Structure 1
Amino acid sequence: MIPFRFLHAADLHLDSRFTGLSHIPGLIRDYLREAAFAALGRLVAVALAEEVDFVVISGDVYDSADSSLQSQLRFQEALLELSQSGIAVFLIHGNHDPLDGPRLQMELPDGVTVFSADKPGQVIAVRRIDGQEAAVVSGISYPTAKVTENTSLRFRRNEDCGLFHIALLHANVDGDPAHETYSPCTRRDLIDSGFDYWALGHIHKRRVLHERPFIVYPGNIQGRSVKETGPKGCCIVDVDAGGIAALRFKELDEVRFLIREISIDNMVRETEWIEAVERAVEEVREEHSNMMSVIRFRITGRGAVHRILSERGAAEDLLDELRRREALRAEQGRFQGLVWPEGFSLESGTEVDRERLLVEDSFLGELMRLAAESAEDGKALDELVRTALAPLGENRELRRMLAEAGEDDMRVWLTRAAETAVTLLSDALAPDEESDDRPGSRQGGR
């Protein structure tokens, strides 16, 4: 076996519409539309700079079956640039860009292989510098948008060939609840297949599910909403003479989505909160000075500032002002370092004297004690949280959160729920409790 290097990417989603963004000036909207194409350009540049022998793309090149002419031409341009540099490309189509989608019938550049939907094809990939055989690449495309068969079971390793075997598959491995269960399979299915590297697509979060064999989701090359935060890009895979692979991640995104938490703990004045938000904006601008950032602020903690934010519209007012400032930067053509505030997620609350409530003889005291006891009992905690959230089980995002949640996450949810209930009930009871301002204290007739 000879050493070689390849690039693994997936979920390009060219021409994707960014979701969850409102009130965006035209200049910024145009910039966002170009983000996926800019990431594609970086992918080509990385392939050239890293001198890879070939590129594999594991589905969803386009964002929809009815892809735009612009996205098709831009992708063809990228393939041609790779071809002219002697870099072969192997790709499959996924649920967003199935083979039955209406597209132009363009002649593929030399060295580009698109796998069919009939059965996993097998193509020999060669090393670019000397043409020596390096790997067997197999893949299968989606014939239509919805593939519910476990297509991984169709793959067969060529036992008569001693080369490294790579499989391209667009699939939901182990039933990730955040994504549609297309081409569902298990890690065990892939491990038992005998392939050396599973180049996966479909899940937009970068994950290495297994090593030896490697089972890898590189994630998408450009985030599209605050549900897709952090660096986005591709994997560079080096395979040595012993057939051992090593991975390196390369960032490709033009626009970075982020979530930043700001706690109102110990804040007394509204100006303290405003200054904290403005500092966070400038910190993001400095950290990501070479790209545009889209940020959602999570407002957490408990304090007097909460009422100002929830009742006086202060969050909306500050959001409008921050957007105005960033729009001015865009008008000056300063997109690098631009920080667009997507919004505020208000998860804060008023102050709660937790320690006093835990020993208080009141309904609210009993509520806090029940929450504290459940938080300490792992079995009771799991049962309580899942029972409480069962009516919302049809929500895909909630199912994903529950599937990924650990005991610490559930403990945080329960604590916040109890404190929120105390806050709401305290506010409701307060007008009738002039003789005693303690939260939840017992009054005559209650």
Structure 2
Amino acid sequence: MKAFRFLHAADLHLDTPFSGMSGVPDRLRGLLRESTFAAFDQLIKVAIEEAVDFVVISGDIYDASDSSLRAQLRLREGWDKLGEHGIPVYLIRGNHDPLSSRRLRLALPGHVYEFGSQAESVTAVRRSDGEPVAVLTGVSYPTPAVHDNLALQYRREPGSALYHIGLLHGNVDGQEGHDAYAPCSLRDLQASGYDYWALGHIHKREILCESPWVVYPGNIQGRSLKETGPKGCYLVEVTENGEAELSFRRLDQVLWLESRLTIDGIATEEALKMSLEERLDELREAEPGRITLARLSFIGRGPLHGLLQSGAEVAELLQELRRKEFARFEAAGLGSSDVERLGLGEGIVWLAGFKLETRMELDREGVLAEDSFLGELFRLAKRTSAASEQVEELVDTALASLSDNRQLRRLLQGLNPEAKQELVRRAEELAASMLHEDTPLSSPSPPSLREGGGAS
């Protein structure tokens, strides 16, 4: 077998509209919409710089079945650049861009091969000498929803010594959070005899197996807080003995992430603001030349719990931090086409919002010793928590009225014993918080109870 290398990407979702985001200035929104194209441009750049023998793309090139002319023009521009370097592309269609939605205004160039609605195989060659190196098999979605196990159509060619690569857009072993299109099992893929499964559809980067390789590269650009972390593609280098080495190549120009900030030890609003600004500086310096969209979760216990829970002050703080960041954005003179060149020594960090997970600062032992309604409530919760069957009975009874809703019923069925214990603990603290809030302002707080903050 001859050594060769290829890029594996999936779920480009070109021209994603990024709808439903509130508080984002139009110019920044323009950069977000441009980000999928910028990531695609990076994909083309990496393929050329790494001198790969070919590129495989495992479905959902477009974000919608009625792909825009702009998306098609940008796609064709990328294909032409690869063609100039003699790099072929092999692709399949997924649920977002099925064959039934074919509205292509531009024909595919000769070096781009699109698989049809039935599994078919082609031979890929090494660019340096034209030697055959791999058999590629793929099948495109004929319609948006495919519920058949397409993996059963893939079988290794008998007697072939070439490396076998299967392109498949589907859900392996029923992964949560994605539609069960083209469902199959890992065992199905292992039984096929293929060496590498180039998967698409799941937007989280994940290697399910190394023998054979079963790989989700994830999408090339995160598009919401459901798609956090670096995004990109895999460079796959296959040696002469058929062993493969994978290396991740980052492509995203906009990073979505979740960050946490504890309020432990923070006593004033000014100190909170300073801690927030320090965290934003850290995120900015960590991703120079990128736009980071972050949701920040407040965790911990401290005197600012009540302030954060009030809502109004948090909204004002968010607005002020956004104003300052947009001023940085404006000072850089960025336009909607500048997502690849922010022109800053540091990046831009836009707060997508705050998440409040703080708790009251609570002297639990003091409350347990009190001769009060709250003390009795805590003692009851402690006795209940010590007996798992009582926790089960208490939580199931309390949540019984929610079981009429199908979606809520599914969520409740997934509660494990630890989660039910956590619900009891949260109810305990909620009761303490409500009783504390009902205390007249002129009255001193009980000695065992004062406002603070924390995570849940």
TM-score, normalising length: structure 2: 0.87
Checking the alignment, whether the CA contact within 8 Å between 1:430 and 1:437 is kept in structure 2 is no
Match of 1:254 in 2: 253
Distance 2:268 2:299 in 1: 16
In the TM superposition, what is the alpha-carbon distance from 1:134 to its structure 2 partner? 0.7
Q: Report Cα offsets for 1:126-162 as digits up to 9, x if no partner.
A: 1111111110001111111111111111111111311
Distance 1:52 1:381 in 2: 58
Distance 2:13 2:92 in 1: 13
Distance 2:96 2:380 in 1: 48
TM-score, normalising length: structure 1: 0.88
Match of 1:146 in 2: 145
In the TM superposition, what is the alpha-carbon distance from 1:120 to its structure 2 partner? 1.1
Distance 2:92 2:356 in 1: 42
Q: Report Cα offsets for 1:356-393 as digits up to 9, x if no partner.
A: 4456673431354257536xx6x998998899598476
Q: Report Cα offsets for 1:98-140 as digits up to 9, x if no partner.
A: 11114224222222110111x2110001111111111000111
Whichever residue aligns with residue 79 of structure 2, its letter is L
Q: Report Cα offsets for 1:262-311 as digits up to 9, x if no partner.
A: 11122221222111111111111111111111111101112220111222
Kindly tell me: are residues 365 and 381 of structure 1, through their superposed partners in 2, closer, same or farther at Cα, counting changes over 3 Å? closer
Match of 1:43 in 2: 43
Match of 1:421 in 2: 430
In the TM superposition, what is the alpha-carbon distance from 1:426 to its structure 2 partner? 2.9
Q: CA RMSD in A?
A: 3.0
Distance 2:376 2:417 in 1: 26
**Secondary structure of the residue that 1:394 maps to in structure 2?**
helix
Would you say 1:341 and 2:351 are equivalent positions? yes
Gaps of 5+ in 1: 441-446
Kindly tell me: are residues 264 and 394 of structure 1, through their superposed partners in 2, closer, same or farther at Cα, counting changes over 3 Å? same
In the TM superposition, what is the alpha-carbon distance from 1:49 to its structure 2 partner? 0.9
Q: Report Cα offsets for 1:193-239 as digits up to 9, x if no partner.
A: 11111111011110001111011000000000111111000000111
Q: Report Cα offsets for 1:173-208 as digits up to 9, x if no partner.
A: 111121111111111111111111111101111000
**Secondary structure of the residue that 1:17 maps to in structure 2?**
coil
Distance 1:82 1:69 in 2: 20
Query: How do 1:22-41 and structure 2 match up within 5 A?
Result: 22-41=22-41
Kindly tell me: are residues 381 and 35 of structure 1, through their superposed partners in 2, closer, same or farther at Cα, counting changes over 3 Å? farther
Match of 1:203 in 2: 202
Distance 1:127 1:386 in 2: 62
Distance 1:277 1:412 in 2: 32
Distance 2:91 2:201 in 1: 13
Whichever residue aligns with residue 103 of structure 1, its letter is R
Match of 1:444 in 2: none
Kindly tell me: are residues 49 and 394 of structure 1, through their superposed partners in 2, closer, same or farther at Cα, counting changes over 3 Å? same
Distance 2:416 2:215 in 1: 23
Kindly tell me: are residues 407 and 18 of structure 1, through their superposed partners in 2, closer, same or farther at Cα, counting changes over 3 Å? farther
Kindly tell me: are residues 129 and 407 of structure 1, through their superposed partners in 2, closer, same or farther at Cα, counting changes over 3 Å? farther
Query: How do 1:37-436 and structure 2 match up within 5 A?
Result: 37-117=37-117, 119-311=118-310, 313-332=312-331, 333=333, 335=342, 336=344, 337-357=347-367, 362-366=375-379, 368-370=381-383, 372-373=385-386, 391=403, 394=407, 410=419, 413-414=422-423, 417-418=426-427, 420-427=429-436, 430=439
Whichever residue aligns with residue 17 of structure 2, its letter is R
Aligned residues: 432
Distance 1:219 1:122 in 2: 24
**Secondary structure of the residue that 1:234 maps to in structure 2?**
strand
Kindly tell me: are residues 164 and 16 of structure 1, through their superposed partners in 2, closer, same or farther at Cα, counting changes over 3 Å? same
Distance 2:186 2:406 in 1: 25
Q: Report Cα offsets for 1:15-74 as digits up to 9, x if no partner.
A: 002255211111111111110000000000100111111100000000000111100111
In the TM superposition, what is the alpha-carbon distance from 1:87 to its structure 2 partner? 0.8
Whichever residue aligns with residue 57 of structure 2, its letter is I
Match of 2:452 in 1: none
The range that moved more, 317-326 or 16-25, is 16-25
**Secondary structure of the residue that 1:319 maps to in structure 2?**
helix
Kindly tell me: are residues 293 and 431 of structure 1, through their superposed partners in 2, closer, same or farther at Cα, counting changes over 3 Å? same
Distance 1:45 1:383 in 2: 59
Q: Report Cα offsets for 1:385-437 as digits up to 9, x if no partner.
A: 899598476269x86x997x9987x4894476245434444336645997992
Whichever residue aligns with residue 247 of structure 1, its letter is L
Match of 2:8 in 1: 8
Distance 1:21 1:272 in 2: 29
**Secondary structure of the residue that 1:134 maps to in structure 2?**
strand
Distance 1:73 1:226 in 2: 29
Whichever residue aligns with residue 234 of structure 1, its letter is C
Checking the alignment, whether the CA contact within 8 Å between 1:357 and 1:364 is kept in structure 2 is no
**Secondary structure of the residue that 1:343 maps to in structure 2?**
strand
The range that moved more, 270-279 or 230-239, is 270-279
Whichever residue aligns with residue 223 of structure 1, its letter is G
The range that moved more, 261-270 or 422-431, is 422-431
Kindly tell me: are residues 363 and 175 of structure 1, through their superposed partners in 2, closer, same or farther at Cα, counting changes over 3 Å? farther
Whichever residue aligns with residue 316 of structure 2, its letter is D
The range that moved more, 11-20 or 88-97, is 11-20
Distance 2:329 2:311 in 1: 30
Kindly tell me: are residues 320 and 182 of structure 1, through their superposed partners in 2, closer, same or farther at Cα, counting changes over 3 Å? same
Kindly tell me: are residues 103 and 323 of structure 1, through their superposed partners in 2, closer, same or farther at Cα, counting changes over 3 Å? same
Distance 1:233 1:19 in 2: 22
Whichever residue aligns with residue 157 of structure 1, its letter is R
